[in-house]
Amino acid sequence: MSALGSSCTEPGPPLWLLAELTYRCPLQCPYCSNPLDFARHGAELSTAEWIEVFRQARELGAAQLGFSGGEPLVRQDLSELIGAARGLGYYTNLITSGIGLSEARIAEFATAGLDHIQISFQAADAQLNDLLAGSGKAFARKLAMARVVKAQGYPMVLNFVTHRHNIDAIEQIIELCLELEADYVELATCQFYGWAELNRAGLLPTRAQLERAERITNQWREKLAAQGHPCKLIFVTPDYYEERPKACMGGWGSLFLDVAPDGTALPCHNAKMLPVQFPNVREHSLRHIWYDSFGFNRFRGDDWLPEPCRSCDEKGRDFGGCRCQAFLLTGDAEATDPVCAKSAHHGLILDASRQAEEAPLGLERLVHRNARTSEIICRSRS
């Protein structure tokens, strides 16, 4: 293995491959994690190129494959990709908005061997859901498709990204998920990357909102456990109310391998905006990319850590936190993650949470993610 920016420890294999099949999407969520400049990204990998990526990743040891986007359903070859992945022995998971699903397509994916479906919702009521999604019929479609997914026997995750505009309806969200017979419910407070970072002042919930939502979720957990109900509720808090950083991706280049629609290989789906050169699967083998490329070794191990992280006794727990967050907030990808109370930049996090209390932006001020707004952002930055 190359010694570039890494400690001497040999990395293990990638366990989870995320195939971001496309940045195309019929919805316009203002918290999308896709890059702001997605409108100017290169040509998508072909069917044959994706299958070769799956083959090489499986050979390295990857066991789970997520199909994501954008909206992966816009790829007309999705069944073929699922079938190829299943043939290679992956556990496969479709991460979708549900827009573009149909009863026939769900059955076709089952025949191809799809193991698991995750459908995202924007809110528990049609009006807010469709306003956030930028599509008048999205909520009704999602409800219908979630029912078909269950009727066809798939394990189903329902995902709600929560923020200041929907988090107060946490009770209704949980009730809706139970009515739809979700096996898992992800109540994931917005993480501030990509479009969510752009809209942070309009999305970050207050501490009081967050604490209330967590309390209600815990009450529901107890109630469901007492009933022996199979549904599991997963509550993800935002970094902005923490004092220690998360172990992002389980450590840089440790477990997670993301391939963007144009074939760029990344250690997380936000890393493309970092000032780091990342390799492309069209030019290099995945073995070279994972073990030897500069990008995947850049923040591996702990040789690169700045102080106070380098001498911190918690570095084995958080692996230096999140590089994308450090870069977005400080402009320096090597900086201590500002979420950490020991960081000299922790004031940035405190300022953001204060702003959420004092001067939140309204729903109407959110910038929705679409090709037009992406193009405007690209032009303003060039």
Beta carbon of residue 118, minimum distance to ligand FES (angstroms, whole number): 19
The site that binds ligand FES (CB under 6 A) totals a number of residues, namely: 10
Q: Which stretch binds ligand FES (CB under 6 A): 87-95, 222-230, 266-274, 369-377?
A: 266-274
| H or E segment to which residue 146 belongs | helix 138-151
Please tell me whether 322 is known to bind a ligand.
Answer: no
Q: Does 276 bind ligand FES (CB under 6 A)?
A: no
Q: Does 339 bind ligand FES (CB under 6 A)?
A: no
Nearest CB to ligand FES, comparing residues 153 and 331: 331
Q: Does 32 bind ligand FES (CB under 6 A)?
A: no
Q: Which stretch binds ligand FES (CB under 6 A): 99-107, 173-181, 204-212, 320-328?
A: 320-328
Kindly write down the DSSP assignment for every residue of 267-312, as one continuous string: SSTTGGGSSS---BTTTS-HHHHHHH-HHHHTT-SSTTPPTTTTT-
Count of C-beta atoms within a 10 Å radius of residue 350? 12
Please tell me whether 231 is known to bind a ligand.
Answer: no
Q: Which stretch binds ligand FES (CB under 6 A): 50-58, 182-190, 217-225, 265-273?
A: 265-273
Complete edge-to-edge strand list for the sheet that includes strand 64-68: 232-236, 184-189, 156-162, 116-121, 91-96, 64-68, 16-20, 256-259, 265-266
Tell which residue, 253, 233, 207, 180, has the closest CA to residue 350.
207
What phi, psi does 247 have (nearest 5°)?
-80, 80
Residue 68, SS3 per DSSP: strand
- Taking CB under 6 A as the criterion, the residue among 101, 123, 248, 286 binding ligand FES is 248
Structure tokens at 372: 């037009």
Say if CB 204 and CB 190 are below 8 A apart: yes
Tell which residue, 65, 12, 60, 22, has the closest CA to residue 263.
22
Tell which residue, 30, 7, 17, has the closest CA to residue 369.
30
Distance CA(62)–CA(299), nearest Å, equals 21
Nearest CB to ligand FES, comparing residues 216 and 268: 268
What phi, psi does 339 have (nearest 5°)?
-60, -30
Q: Does 329 bind ligand FES (CB under 6 A)?
A: no
Long-range contacts of 230-233, Cβ-Cβ distance < 8 Å, separation of 24 or more: 230/183, 231/177, 231/178, 231/181, 231/182, 231/183, 231/184, 231/185, 232/183, 232/184, 232/185, 233/174, 233/185, 233/187
What x/- string results for residues 162 through 201 when contact with ligand FES is judged by CB under 6 A?
A: -------------------------------x--------
Question: Binders of ligand FES among 67-86, rule CB under 6 A?
Answer: none
Beta carbon of residue 252, minimum distance to ligand FES (angstroms, whole number): 6
- Taking CB under 6 A as the criterion, the residue among 138, 322, 328, 335 binding ligand FES is 322
Beta carbon of residue 21, minimum distance to ligand FES (angstroms, whole number): 20
Q: Which stretch binds ligand FES (CB under 6 A): 3-11, 78-86, 268-276, 357-365?
A: 268-276
Q: Does 340 bind ligand FES (CB under 6 A)?
A: no
- Taking CB under 6 A as the criterion, the residue among 135, 166, 199, 270 binding ligand FES is 270
Q: Which stretch binds ligand FES (CB under 6 A): 74-82, 110-118, 264-272, 363-371?
A: 264-272
Query: Which residues have C-beta within 8 Å of that of residue 350, sequence separation ≥ 6?
Result: none
Q: Does 268 bind ligand FES (CB under 6 A)?
A: yes
Which residue in this structure is represented by tokens 């190829």? 84
Please tell me whether 268 is known to bind a ligand.
Answer: no
Q: Does 271 bind ligand FES (CB under 6 A)?
A: yes
Beta carbon of residue 208, minimum distance to ligand FES (angstroms, whole number): 27
Residue 365, SS3 per DSSP: helix
User: In the complex, which residues of this chain contact ligand FES (CB under 6 A)?
Assistant: 193, 248-249, 268, 270-271, 322-325
The annotated binding site is made up of 25, 29, 32
